[in-house]
Amino acid sequence: MPHPSRPPDADTHPSLELDTGGRDRVLGPGAMVLAGFARAIAPDLIAMVDMVARTAPFRRMSTPSGRTMSVAMTNCGTAGWVSDTKGYRYDPMDPLSGHPWPALPALFADLAARAASRAGFSEFHPDACLINRYEPGTRLTLHQDRDEHDFSQPIVSVSLGLPAIFLWGGPARSDRVRRVPLEHGDVVVWGGPARLVHHGIHPLTEGMHPLTGRARLNLTFRRAM
C-alpha cells in the first residue's frame, strides 16, 4: 500500500516525495537532504580521508583565470577532478605525483550507492570522489558541475565536521539563491532537474569540531567518465 504522502510516481521522480517522516527533507525537484545519514560512520569516513590525503595531499588548485581556489581539494577513485590554467577536467592521474588517485574505499562507494538509492536513484556507481576541505573563511562561489559525462547520473554529497551554509540557486546564474544549512553527517542527493543548478558554499564561520578540528570536509561522489 502506498504511503499516503507519496504520490504514485515518487519512484521515478524522487523529489515528489513530500514527507519522509524523519528529518529528511526535499529541497526541491531532484534535491533531497538525508539528514544525519552518514553520522554513525563519520569517524571511519574521516579516517579514510586522512588515508587518502597521505597519498594525495590536499592542495589549493588554480582556476583557468589564474586565481587560487580557497578550498583545498584532493580526490579518490579512478578519476579525479582537477583545475589548472588549462581548464577543468577529470584526470585518472594526480598531477602532483604523476600516479593514479587512491582507490575509492568500499565504505565510500557503499555509502554513495545507499544514499542515491534512498533518494530514488538505483544503481549509482561513482568513479570519482572529490574531497573538499574548508577552514573558517573559506568559500566556494556559485558554479555548476558540468564536467561530468552523463548528467542523468546524480551527485551525492556528504558533509563532515563544521557546519556550513549551502547556497542553492537555479539553472540560471541570476536565479534566486536559497540558503540551506548543512551539518556533520548530512548527505544530499542531487539529480534530475537539480543536477545543473548553480550552487556554492557561504564563507565558513569560525568554529571547532571534535572530529575535524577547525575544518569542514565535503565528499562529492560522481560518475565522471
Question: Using the rule CB under 5 A, is 148 a contact of Fe ion?
Answer: no
Q: Which of residues 112-141 bind ligand MD3 (CB under 6 A)?
A: 130, 132, 140
* Binder among 157, 185, 221, 224 for ligand MD3 (CB under 6 A): 157
202 is in an annotated binding site: no
Give the nearer residue to ligand MD3 in terms of CB position, either 30 or 102: 30
Give the nearer residue to Fe ion in terms of CB position, either 28 or 100: 28
* Binder among 145, 158, 215, 221 for Fe ion (CB under 5 A): 145
Question: Using the rule CB under 6 A, is 27 a contact of ligand MD3?
Answer: no
Return the number of other C-beta atoms located less than 10 Å from residue 130's C-beta.
Answer: 24
Binding-site residues sit at 81, 88-90, 132-134, 143, 145, 147, 173, 199, 216-222
Binding-site residues for 2-oxoglutarate sit at 132-134, 216-222
